[in-house]
Every structure is written in structure tokens, then in C-alpha cells.
Chain A
């Protein structure tokens, strides 16, 4: 699974390839349906940028299992920029769109979807953002990768892969919807480390 170090002196390791990501998402989709005892009241909200395409893919997979579900009507995007606790520490970030499904989130079971769970601060911001938008019946968390190093009492309900990492390493998720690597769309999870 090890690929040669790039010329910049960064050691890259592919930990999830396209098929692995697809299998993990299929399993998470089934877990979500199982935990919810069906697709009733389900809303999937992806956190930009890569959480949104993941939420869309999960919605597709849920619709493949339960044909009564319209994947476009249960997936949405939740921007958390304005709720971050580190706004003042960085140059100003532009907020992105929040798009809720037409049914809204009141009394729904909202599954937050993100690519990497790390400190937990993004999820804390997402919980605050949700509270301003409505009152879900329950909120769950699905992530593609949990890399540890939590700084807040937050855990994921559905995890694609647990990746023990050092905080020096960087976990990068590349999705066909958001990332072009060398001109081609790829789906992979990579761990980068300076050699």
C-alpha cells in the first residue's frame, strides 16, 4: 500500500482506495438504516466541502436499499463556518451554502456526515448550527475516517475506518466530486507524513 515519496519530501500512503471507500459507505448506509429501523424521518447533512458528496453517496445507497427514498430529498449541506471556535485565529473564511432538504430538520433524525473526525471541533460547530436551524428528534454522526486525537467529548455513531495516526501526519480525503489530482478525479484516503 506504500507509494514512493513525492519529490517534495512528503511520504504518502494510500489507506483507502476507491473500492474501500465504496464498501465503507455501503456498510455505513446499512448501519444507518438498521439503527434508525428503516428510512423514516432520515435526513443526511454533509459538512462542506467533502461531507456533502459523501452524504449524497450515502443517500444513493440508502435509496438503492429502500426504493421509497428519493436521494435528492434526504441529502443536504450544513455550513458551519460561522460557528467555528477558531474564526479569529485564521484569515477570514468565506461561508458556504447551507441547503436543507425541503422537509426541514424539525423532528427528523439528522445524520451529520463528514470526511475526517479529528479534534471534534467541527462537529461541535455543526451541533450549534443545527440548533439555530431547528430541533431534530435525534442527531447522529457518520464519518469516513476517524483518526483519533479528540479534544471534545464527541464520538461518531458510524465510522468507515478507524485510523490510528500521529498528530504530525495529515489525513487527506480525495473525492471525485471535489478533487482533481493531476487532472483526473480520484477517490482515495491518503496519509501524508514529512520524511
Chain B
């Protein structure tokens, strides 16, 4: 793995390896000294052309816990607002010898352009590009789902995938890079994905995706999903009328108190409610649902740091000019029970 650009071309083997490394990284977060020396002397640049709180902070915490130096670069207040191009910005970073560039950009494909252009030698991590992909978000969702699935099944999470799990993704799929990345990754890991949303907020060609599409949220919930992932209504990307009113959207597509009660009525005791954040409380998710024991919102944020540590570690720790895949000639020790 040289870059992490999308989950579409991520193999099940690489995805599982990343999740397993993240499991070990999570253990570091529980220690008194939450720092590892693995990336000492490496420089990670957070290149954010779009607003973000949790993703940038999460990447910054991840890089710092691995002892890397972090440079934060926000487009506002930089020379980008004076008209500097992506190429010139990239070459400036190359001249400062960045080892990894974490990029968020409003244009779909900007990270892939940066990785393939030859402008820089650094590893490129996609932290969200336009309406294309947000791979680390999908990986942290998969990590959260895998832990939940392992807890329900009473098995250890390391080394397992999501086979047998049913995940329902609800809302504004059209503008959501989180939904796209999740559809590819979760199906790669063996989960069954269901989409639900108003036809105006589902992309053209959704029928060709490896998932089933529902046009009624209550019907979709009756399919007994193991997890319900609510997407944020992306008002900033909407330049047309996709639905009559936010009130109607909330009624038909919001995870409100009534639908929270419906999960209980259906006997779905182990179904969790996810949200990538930031939440529009009272619109796509009610406060009661967001703060209920079913909600994994805070666990997702916590797991985000572990997953991003794993991604940076796997991209940066080894010999950059040696792409030989690691040989796994030995069975893993203490996979079960996790007690010495």
C-alpha cells in the first residue's frame, strides 16, 4: 500500500490487516503513555481545502501518537486563497520533504491526481474528496461494526470480517462520500448493505451498486438490519430542491423517537445506530436516538484515531522503496480471549 485513496480498490486482505493493526493501536489509547515511536522523524501534512473538525483533529492526534511531526494546512488563510494551484501547493510540500499528505478537497479525484501526478513523492491519504470517497471514515465505521459484531457473537474481533451482518445506510446518499466508501468496504468485508433514501437523493446508477435500495425507511427497518447508519443532510452541497421541506424529510427519513421505539418493538436488541457526524440533531437523527445506548457516535470518533494511526503506520513505517508484501508464515498467537 503506497496510498490510501479509496475503499473501492482496497482488497479484503489489506482492509483486514488495517483493522487488525487498528485493534493494537486502540490498546495504546488505553495506556498511560499514549505514544509510540514508530514514525519518529516523519512529517505528516494535513492539507485541508474544506472545513473539518473531527477528521483533521483525528488525523493530527493519530500522527502525534505515532511521534510524527504534524503540519496543519487549511486553505483559508493560505496562499490558496490568493489563487495558488494544487500543483504549486504540492510542490511546496515536497520541498519541505513531507512523508505523507492527508488531503481533503472539494473536487472529487483531487487526492488521486496528487498521488498519480508525480508532483510529490509522499504517501497520499484521502480524507474526503468531493462526493467521491472518504476511506478512513468507512474503515472506522467497519472497525466499530466489527467490534460490535464480535461482542454480539461473543468472539474476538481481530482477524474476523463482517460476514452475516446487515447494514442499512439512510439518507442523502447522492452527496455522501461516506456512503460510497462504506458500500464498497462493507461489501468487501462480507456485509450485506441496504440503502434507503428519497429517490432525489440517490445517485444515478445506484442499481448497479452491490446493495439493495429501499424507498421507505420503515420497510427497510423491517428487514431487521444489525446497524443503521444515518447520513448527514449536506445542506452546503445542495443547490436544488431535493425534497419539499426539512420537516417532511425528518418525518420520512429521520431516525426519530418513533423509529427508535420501532427497533425495540421489532425485538432488534443488538441493532446499533451510527452517524459519521457532525449531526443535525432533530433533522436526520433525534437527540434521544443520538444519546441512546444504541448510538455508536462517540465510539466512532474514538475508533477514528486508532484506524488513522493504523493507516499512517502501514503507509509510512516500512521501507518506502520496498513494496514486497509481508509474509504471514506463522499463525497469529493469542487471537482468542485476549487474556495472557
Beta-carbon contacts under 8 Å, B10-57 to A: 17, 20-21, 23-25, 27, 31-33, 35-38
A67-103 toward B: CB 8 Å interface, digit per residue (1/0)? 0000010011101011100011111111111111100
Residues of B within 8 A of A134 (CB): 32
Residues of B within 8 A of A52 (CB): 333-334
Whether A83 contacts B331 in the complex (CB less than 8 A), given A90-B318, A93-B326, comes out as no
Whether A132 contacts B31 in the complex (CB less than 8 A), given A88-B318, A97-B334, comes out as yes
Report yes or no: B330 in contact with A179, Cβ–Cβ below 8 A: yes
Instruction: Give the contacting residue for A101; candidates B33, B318, B340; CB below 8 A.
Output: B340
> In the assembly, what is the distance between CA of A91 and CA of B313, in Å?
11
User: Is B269 positioned at the interface, with any CB of A under 8 Å from its CB?
Assistant: no
Whether A95 contacts B334 in the complex (CB less than 8 A), given A82-B37, A132-B31, comes out as no
Q: How many residues belonging to A are interface residues under a CB distance threshold of 8 Å?
A: 34
Residues of A within 8 A of B324 (CB): 91
User: Is B319 positioned at the interface, with any CB of A under 8 Å from its CB?
Assistant: yes
Beta-carbon contacts under 8 Å, A28-69 to B: 48-49, 52-53
Bin chain B's interface residue count. 20 to 34
Whether A88 contacts B319 in the complex (CB less than 8 A), given A94-B17, A101-B340, comes out as yes
User: Is A107 positioned at the interface, with any CB of B under 8 Å from its CB?
Assistant: no
Report yes or no: A128 in contact with B37, Cβ–Cβ below 8 A: yes
User: Is A162 positioned at the interface, with any CB of B under 8 Å from its CB?
Assistant: no
Residues of B within 8 A of A179 (CB): 330
Residue of B at shortest CB range from A128? B37
Residues of A within 8 A of B334 (CB): 52, 77, 97, 99
Report yes or no: B331 in contact with A90, Cβ–Cβ below 8 A: no
Secondary structure type dominating chain B contacts: loop
User: Is A133 positioned at the interface, with any CB of B under 8 Å from its CB?
Assistant: yes
> In the assembly, what is the distance between CA of A83 and CA of B326, in Å?
18
CB distance from A117 to the nearest CB of B (A): 20
Report yes or no: B317 in contact with A88, Cβ–Cβ below 8 A: yes
Residue of B at shortest CB range from A74? B340
> In the assembly, what is the distance between CA of A87 and CA of B67, in Å?
14
> In the assembly, what is the distance between CA of A53 and CA of B331, in Å?
13
User: Is B9 positioned at the interface, with any CB of A under 8 Å from its CB?
Assistant: no
CB distance from A110 to the nearest CB of B (A): 13
CB distance from A87 to the nearest CB of B (A): 5
Residues of A within 8 A of B27 (CB): 97-98
User: Is A169 positioned at the interface, with any CB of B under 8 Å from its CB?
Assistant: no
Report yes or no: A96 in contact with B339, Cβ–Cβ below 8 A: no
User: Which of A94, A96, A128, A178 has the most chain B CB within a 10 Å cutoff?
Assistant: A94
> In the assembly, what is the distance between CA of A88 and CA of B334, in Å?
27
Can you list 17 A-B contacts (CB < 8 A)?
Answer: A48-B333, A52-B334, A82-B37, A83-B38, A88-B317, A88-B318, A91-B325, A92-B317, A92-B318, A97-B334, A99-B338, A100-B340, A128-B37, A132-B35, A132-B36, A134-B32, A178-B330
Residues of A within 8 A of B (CB): 48-49, 52-53, 72, 75-77, 79, 81-83, 87-101, 128, 132-134, 177-179
